[in-house]
Structure 1
Amino acid sequence: MTDSLAHRVQQLGLSLPTPSQPIANYVNHVASQNQLFISGQIPLQDGKPAFIGRLGETISDEEGANAAELAALGLLAQLSDALNDDLSRLVRIIRLGVFIASAPDFQRQGAVANGASNLLVNALGEKGRHVRTAVGVSSLPGGVAVEIDAIFELRP
């Protein structure tokens, strides 16, 4: 297996987007000791928010999973940028947080979050297995359906 994240993503028939830039007073990622924290990523297409709406109202479960996958692709772009595309520095994903804009009675957040989890495992193999939280929220930045963040373990 290659140590280039961009190459692994290409093998899945996808490509890493240009890492998005903060739109407020925060940074994309912070390394602290052997951990890398990546800020929340929303689904972007051509640099614009995609999958606008809430699950259980205007967004289907399948569209929600696609939104989560797209946000995870942005997360991988941030990871690649932080590691200079060198996956040999990555031990594993520790935690994935998935926030899903949901109607009050929507209960399938886990199925939506699988869109992100599946991409991460497919791209990173065992390094991509993680603990996860999938939480329904009333709204997200830009009106998107999904936002994800993550904590990674790095080699010392």
Structure 2
Amino acid sequence: MTWSAEARLTELGITLPGASAPQAAYTNCVQVGALLFVAGKGPGDPQAVGKLGRELTTVQGAGLARAVGLGVLAAVRGFLGSLDRVERVVRVQAFVNATEDFTEHHLAVDGLSELFVDVFGDSGIHTRSVLGAVSLRGGLPIIAECLFEVDEHRSA
């Protein structure tokens, strides 16, 4: 039996949001061969602002990182037509808007990483960099950009 990310979303009871529009002069996704680059996405909720370690806890950050992951998946589905075209998640780079003394960036971003493994199984295991930021656009708490390997030939 072949793994289906779309079926897995249904099993998990996950409904993806609509893909968000770019907030400046860029596009959500660019495909180069079998690689799909996804622009930085925030949690999608305009009320989700603040710094981890001040207004937000690590647990809240993990929930927001999961929301970021849902937004990334929505952009990927919108571009490819189906998440079943994803062969694997290759890389995640996340930026966490945090106070100077906050040290749990990695734990917050696990909310996104765990979502990808839930949806894609072993193909969702990826490399990752997590960086602390003094500020992010619009006061967002977390932004992540992602790289996927996709099936170049299979259509949605």
Q: Given the two structures, how large is their TM-score scaled by the length of structure 2?
A: 0.91
Deviations along 1:62-85, whole A, 9 cap, x unmatched?
Answer: 110001000000001011112211
SS in 1 for 2:81: coil
- The corresponding residue for 1:63 is 60
- The corresponding residue for 2:81 is 84
Give the % identical residues. Answer: 32
SS in 1 for 2:14: coil
**Separation in 1, partners of 2:110, 2:5:** 24
Query: Any unmatched runs of 5+ in structure 2?
Result: none
Q: Given the two structures, how large is their TM-score scaled by the length of structure 1?
A: 0.91
Query: Aligned letter for 1:128?
Result: G
**Separation in 1, partners of 2:49, 2:22:** 19
**Mapping for residues 46-57 of structure 1, pairs under 5 Å:** 49-57=46-54
**Separation in 1, partners of 2:86, 2:117:** 14
- The corresponding residue for 2:103 is 107
Query: Aligned letter for 2:61?
Result: G
**Separation in 2, partners of 1:25, 1:106:** 32
Query: Aligned letter for 1:16?
Result: L
**Separation in 1, partners of 2:141, 2:10:** 25
Alpha-carbon RMSD across the aligned residues, in angstroms, is: 1.4
**Mapping for residues 1-150 of structure 1, pairs under 5 Å:** 3=4, 5=6, 7-45=7-45, 49-87=46-84, 89-150=85-146
Are the aligned partners of 1:50 and 1:144 in contact in 2 as well (CA < 8 Å)?
no
Query: Any unmatched runs of 5+ in structure 1?
Result: none
Are the aligned partners of 1:54 and 1:101 in contact in 2 as well (CA < 8 Å)?
yes
The change in CA–CA distance for 1:86 and 1:107 in structure 2 (over 3 A counts) is closer
Are the aligned partners of 2:68 and 2:143 in contact in 1 as well (CA < 8 Å)?
yes
Query: Aligned letter for 1:71?
Result: V
**Separation in 1, partners of 2:67, 2:145:** 13
